Amino acid sequence: MAKPTETAAEESGPRGEVARGASVAASVAGEIPVAGEGAPGGGAATSGTTGEGEGVVDVIVIGGGINGSGIARDAVGRGLSTVLLEKDDIGEGTSSRSGKYIHGGLRYLEYYEFRLVREALIEREVVLGLVPHLAWPLRLILPHSPAQRPRWLIRLGLFLYDHLGGRRKLPATQAVDLRTAPEGEPVDDAFSHAFAYHDVWVDDARLTLLNALDAAERGAEVLPRTRFESAERVDDGAGGPWRVTWRDTLTDERTTRHARALINTAGPWVEQVIGSVAGTSSTKHVRLVKGSHVITQRWWQGAHGYVLQHTDKRLIFVNPLFEDLALIGTTDIPYEGRSEDVAIEDEEIDYLLGILNRCFTTTLTRDDVIDTYSGVRPLFDDDSRKGASAVTRDYTFEIDTGPQGRAVGGAPLLSAFGGKLTTYRKLAEHGLEKLRDHFPEMGGAWTGGEPLPGGDMPEGDFERWFAAFGERHEWLPEALARHYARCYGTRADALLEGARSLEDLGRRFGDRLYEREARWLIEREWALTAEDILWRRTKHRLFMSEVEREAFGAWLEGLNIGAASRRAADAERAGS
């Protein structure tokens, strides 16, 4: 095991050596210059090895969603040598398809999940400190009518919401008279009263990406587009390590490495991973629930959102997105298909538009929908009799150390079931503590006080930092400056290094997408496809025409940063 870092009570874990290997675009670096020096750590993206790997690592994490990326970051910061495997892009599955919320879970109080709600409420303010450029307080208006839950019950729930988590930064709940308040202007006259409370907006895809990026910069090997294939314990009679095989999905090359522990955070695929690990089984299961969202033009003024109570008692969130868009969701439907194939259905669109047209004075149709997305939530199946909305959003673990009765405990397989975006960091802490007997020298919890890349702003004050950023780059239009600042935080200065005009940013592909940014994402953030850049690393897709998106895709294809470049990068490292 590598030397452990200090505990959280002392210093946060220091950044380790740079991630092994070069950028996935290293072989075309001459064609893809990026402004400034290399990324901290010399470029975090890695591309794997071929054949038998070198040495034994402490931990291999399977699944690069928010939970796996969070565990990889936490583990390497505690001194554990770490490999993170993700079969697709980082955060491509569930973790980039949420409602973009860090929230306590007001509805969970109805199911008496007080532990989960308290943990989630505390985490709201932790995340605000970790990524002040990606997360900010969001005021939510909850209209009420006598036909819905009793007003006293809503008030009681919000009282608990205010006090369970030791709120420090977010304002307390307020009553709102929709007949006189500006927030009531777009609301139907059937609703005269409302409550206003706060949760936290977050860019879920970038939050996931930054955890993986920070893990890599601290020394972890982060391997996107790398599919876990199998694992078996080395039977040496002394609790030998895992022999793990994975496959690079771009080059089709296989790698075998040994690890002292496996951590399964594969989300919807958690049971499939267990099935690929020799000699293991599980009594726990996940239930797949589809959640879909629609995006429309915004029809109200102000930076607040709305929370609507549907006729089936589900809560639907209607939130501001960028300057003039609205994000509406989510549905809650049992799902039995392949998680990779999930997509919104017309009935879901009608369900979401129906609640909008009932609660607001506006009338929206399918023609008003600009974009949609769907994700599969892998919920821990705590009771098969429960409906999809009632299934717990909490998480649990299962640890397998081999056949019972062994004189020596085997290498552990830790599998995580359930969880939600809000509590990813606590899931990581609790999961790693379950492995402490196997890694007694492991450092303590540390991630709550160490900002993620780009989040190191004085006192976590984004607006004050942004004002100074704007002064340093006066030539940038305000909207473009805010885009760079929100996406990259304090690293936006490095992105813009040497630029003095828009012409210095290279080719313009769309409203706010310039060549400089695209090359940065390829070089620094594992981006390979148009979807990686236009939808997960950014949301440029929403502001580009079909012609512009096709032109960008053609440009990207011309860079040749796929399998051939991956092989060239591997060959370059092997010869160095």
Tell me the C-alpha to C-alpha distance, in Å, between residue 530 and each of 405, 526, 568: 52, 12, 22
SS3 of 159-185: the string is HHHHHCCCCCCCCCCEEEECCCCHHHC
Q: Residue 524: how many CB atoms within 10 A of its CB?
A: 25
37-92+207-284+393-449, CATH topology level? FAD/NAD(P)-binding domain (3.50.50)
Confidence of residue 112 (pLDDT cuts 50, 70, 90): confident
**Residue ranges of the chain assigned to CATH 3.50.50.60:** 37-92+207-284+393-449
Reported pTM: 0.90
> Are the C-beta atoms of 26 and 463 separated by less than 8 Å?
no
CATH 3.30.9.10 residue ranges of the chain are 95-205+287-389
- Mean pLDDT rounded to a whole number for the chain: 87
428 sits in which H/E element = helix 424-433
The two three-digit tokens of residue 292, written as one number: 């879909």
Q: How confident is the model at residue 470 (pLDDT cuts 50, 70, 90)?
A: very high
DSSP state of 15: P
pLDDT at residue number 375: 96
Where residue 368 falls among pLDDT bands split at 50, 70, 90?
very high
SS3 572: helix
User: By mean pLDDT, which of 4-18, 365-379, 474-488, 505-519 is the weakest?
Assistant: 4-18
- List Cα–Cα distances, 105 to 57, 149, 376, in angstroms: 37, 16, 18
Instruction: Name the nearest CA neighbour of 196 among 151, 147, 138.
Output: 138
* Whether the Cβ atoms of residue 380 and residue 283 lie closer than 8 Å to each other: no
Tell me if the domain spanning 95-205+287-389 has CATH number 3.40.190.10: no
What confidence score (pLDDT) does residue 407 get?
39
The one-character DSSP state at 452 is P
Is 496 a residue whose pLDDT tops 60?
yes
**Band of the pLDDT at 282, cuts 50, 70, 90?**
confident
CA 567 – CA 53 distance, rounded (Å): 16
Q: The domain 458-575 belongs to what CATH superfamily?
A: Alpha-glycerophosphate oxidase, cap domain (1.10.8.870)
Q: What are the start and end residues of each CATH 1.10.8.870 domain in the chain?
A: 458-575
Interval 182-204 mean pLDDT: 97
Peptide bond into 311 cis (omega under 30): no
Categorize the per-residue pLDDT at 237 as very low, low, confident or very high, splitting at 50, 70 and 90. Answer: low
478 DSSP 8-state letter: H
* CB atoms near residue 299 (< 10 Å): 16
Q: Span 461-488, mean pLDDT? A: 98
Instruction: Give me the mean pLDDT over the 379-388 stretch.
Output: 72
Please, are residues 320 and 274 in contact by the beta-carbon 8 Å criterion?
A: no
Q: How many CB atoms lie within 10 A of CB 354?
A: 14
pLDDT digits (tens, 9 = 90+) for 246-276: 999 999 999 999 999 999 999 999 999 999 9
Q: Contact, 143 vs 187, CB < 8 A?
A: yes
**The residue type at 85:** L
Task: Supply the pLDDT for residue 53.
Answer: 55
- The whole-number pLDDT of residue 19 equals 34
